[in-house]
Structure 1
Amino acid sequence: MTENEGYTWLDGQLVKNEQAMVPFMTSALHYGLGVFEGIRCYATPRGPAIFRLKDHIQRLLESAKILGFRSLPFTQEQLEEACREVVRANGFESCYIRPLIFFDSQVKNLNLDVGWARVGISAWYWGAYLGDEALEKGARMNISSFTRLHPNIMMTKAKITGNYANSVLAKTESARLGFDEAIMLDPQGYVAECTGENLFIVRRGVIYTPGTWAVLEGITRDAIITLARDLGYEVQEAQISRDHLYVAEECFVSGTAAEIVPVTEIDHRVIGSGRRGPVTYRLMQAFHAVVRGEDERYQHWLDLVNP
């Protein structure tokens, strides 16, 4: 199926992708006034299931509140059902889901109170975000020259569309330098996150990750922390300096698009053995068992598309 053959849920109705259009003068396009989520749906023995759907839609609504929308046209329950509807309409067993709340207005200014919120939800097949090879051999990364947004300059706990210009600058620079992904430092010079993933390191058997004061509160990040602790690992939120990365035994990143990807090189320095480490591999196995519906302990994280 091509992209134009699928369906998008737009303002409460399913329409063909080719008809899911917004006017050129839509304020969201000009000013980055929107909030979004990335959600994955997985094939399971009980049919397609969306991973932590309720948590993702809750964060979507929180992002809208943080940005400043006073009211929204749909409830959380309606948006959750709309996500399921999009998966069903497109006939997906596994896919990536993109809900987007965006601002529209007949008056072109920077005031959210003179317009209204619109909502679209689309879905498409998306394989390994950083490539299949990186899942085993690991990704090569660099420290970006671009700093992660200061929390009083932009609202860093919200997935605001305009925020991602920061990530685009860093990701493009990294790609042009020959790396797979960029690691961004916070305004104090400590490790924050990548352009679309949270970051973890392993040192002396302990898993460390930057605290939520510096990063987006990733839902996959939260799942990894829970899984790691359930597997018996100690997990600590901490300030991680750049040189901590270089001497880590293992490093990996997590996110909805990326899932879990090992990092084996940073700034031309080999991390650990230079291959995917045992802690990372064990967490990858545990995570994939969860999202495929193979671990009964975490069935509450899966929302069946056809209950």
Structure 2
Amino acid sequence: MAHKPSQLIWHNGHFVPWWEAKVHVLTHGLHYGSSVFEGIRAYATDKGAAIFRLRDHVERLFESARIHRMQIPYSQDDLFDACKQIIRVNRLTNGAYLRPIVFRGYGEYALAPSPQLPIEVAIAATEMGAYLGAEGLERGVDACISSWQRPAANTFPTMAKAGGNYLNSSQISMEAQRHGYQEGIALGTDGMLSEGGGENVFLVKKGVLYTPPTSAAILTGITRDTVMTLAQELGYEVRQQTMPREALYVCDEAFFTGTACEITPIRSIDGLTIGNGSRGPITHELQDLFFGLVKGKLADRFGWLDYVGGGEIEVEHDLHSALA
């Protein structure tokens, strides 16, 4: 996921230059993975940049922090406003990818940290294109079933979008790319389909959409929820149910969903072509509705867009000098 650095990052309530947003090498989150984060997209519209489902993402960030017993030293409204401000101050009028992160800071080595250990918060915003490639949105990507499994429910909480969880995701994606695929798909400990390295998975069979349930050790994705809502509005039945890997081998269409990958078709799985080997008609229909909505071309009937607005953001005088 290539990105171009922007000028400023919001860090603990202040704007700091991109290359000066630093933490100590003994930061707890670096050593033990004690961080939670979100990926959020903003899109360019005729009314200016609009952030997609911002409140849902910020709410999930707080839920992830609560699961890991981290008290965020800001309100949800504080971070809601900061996400808008970081886009405005960096003048990202063509859309942006936001990365809010909450992590335990520097102070001690303890696995069970004391309440006095600082909780730090940062929000970065950058330009970013299609996560799995621009061509992938139309032509689809090649995926494989990974040899790595998702963890069992009683190992660590998969409901939280936590940094430590993504070591598993990294293994899935790296393995897939070593073997020539764009992404891998993990099974759960029960041998049933779970999710991609960083995406939820849908398949289509005889006009019905299927996706693994929350019990399959998946992250309950916000784009996943969006697609289920849009599919039902279009009149399609959506079933959340456990499925074996071979369900992908015999489906008519399949696609990934996620903030980064948006809605990306899967054209083959383990070398077997899915459908016609490109974007299927239902996937296409969902993409058209999704992108029409997030780019402001269709009415925002679900209240999913938060417009960034205009106006100057007050930045400290010495920061202006540093950026000059």
Compute the TM-score of the two structures, normalised by the length of structure 1: 0.97
The 8 Å contact of residues 139 and 267 in structure 2, kept in 1 or not, is answered as yes
Residue 107 of structure 1 and its aligned partner are, at CA, apart by 1.6
Residue 105 of structure 1 and its aligned partner are, at CA, apart by 3.5
In the other structure, the counterpart of 1:130 is 132
Cα distance change on mapping 1:208 and 1:19 into 2, 3 Å: same
Question: Of the candidates 245, 260, 272, which is equivalent to residue 257 of structure 1?
Answer: 260
Question: Of the candidates 246, 249, 263, which is equivalent to residue 249 of structure 2?
Answer: 246
% of aligned pairs identical? 44
Q: Distance in 2 between matches of 1:193 and 1:77?
A: 31
Q: Secondary structure at the match of 2:210?
A: strand
Q: Distance in 2 between matches of 1:72 and 1:5?
A: 25
Matched AA of 2:82: A
Q: Secondary structure at the match of 2:48?
A: coil
The 8 Å contact of residues 6 and 126 in structure 2, kept in 1 or not, is answered as no
In the other structure, the counterpart of 2:41 is 40
Q: Deviations over 1:254-278 (max 9, x none)?
A: 0000000000100011111112100
Q: Is 1:279 paired with 2:255?
A: no
In the other structure, the counterpart of 1:293 is 296
Q: Is 1:95 paired with 2:86?
A: no
Show structure 1 runs of 5+ residues with no match: none
Matched AA of 2:174: T
Q: CA RMSD in A?
A: 1.2
Q: Secondary structure at the match of 1:68?
A: coil
In the other structure, the counterpart of 2:108 is 107
1:46-61 superposed matches below 5 A: 46-61=47-62
The 8 Å contact of residues 220 and 255 in structure 1, kept in 2 or not, is answered as yes
The 8 Å contact of residues 290 and 299 in structure 1, kept in 2 or not, is answered as no
Show structure 2 runs of 5+ residues with no match: 311-324
Runs of 4+ in structure 1 off by over 3 angstroms are 2-5
Residue 298 of structure 1 and its aligned partner are, at CA, apart by 3.0
Q: Deviations over 1:219-253 (max 9, x none)?
A: 00000000000011111101111111100000011
Question: Of the candidates 251, 259, 270, which is equivalent to residue 273 of structure 2?
Answer: 270
Q: Deviations over 1:160-203 (max 9, x none)?
A: 10110000011101000000000000110110000111000000
Q: Is 1:220 paired with 2:223?
A: yes
Residue 3 of structure 1 and its aligned partner are, at CA, apart by 4.9
In the other structure, the counterpart of 1:11 is 12
Counting matched residue pairs gives 305
Matched AA of 1:288: F
In the other structure, the counterpart of 2:318 is none
Residue 116 of structure 1 and its aligned partner are, at CA, apart by 2.1
Q: Distance in 2 between matches of 1:103 and 1:236?
A: 38
Residue 299 of structure 1 and its aligned partner are, at CA, apart by 5.7
Residue 48 of structure 1 and its aligned partner are, at CA, apart by 0.4
Matched AA of 1:262: P
In the other structure, the counterpart of 2:82 is 82
In the other structure, the counterpart of 1:155 is 157
Q: Distance in 2 between matches of 1:184 and 1:298?
A: 34
Q: Secondary structure at the match of 1:113?
A: coil
Q: Distance in 2 between matches of 1:228 and 1:42?
A: 21
Residue 295 of structure 1 and its aligned partner are, at CA, apart by 1.6
Matched AA of 1:302: L
Q: Secondary structure at the match of 2:215?
A: coil
Q: Secondary structure at the match of 1:49?
A: strand
Q: Secondary structure at the match of 1:72?
A: coil
In the other structure, the counterpart of 1:31 is 32
In the other structure, the counterpart of 2:321 is none
The 8 Å contact of residues 143 and 184 in structure 1, kept in 2 or not, is answered as yes
Q: Distance in 1 between matches of 2:173 and 2:6?
A: 30
Q: Distance in 2 between matches of 1:139 and 1:4?
A: 27
The 8 Å contact of residues 193 and 244 in structure 2, kept in 1 or not, is answered as yes
Residue 19 of structure 1 and its aligned partner are, at CA, apart by 1.0
Q: Distance in 1 between matches of 2:298 and 2:50?
A: 13
Q: Distance in 1 between matches of 2:295 and 2:301?
A: 10
The 8 Å contact of residues 105 and 119 in structure 2, kept in 1 or not, is answered as yes
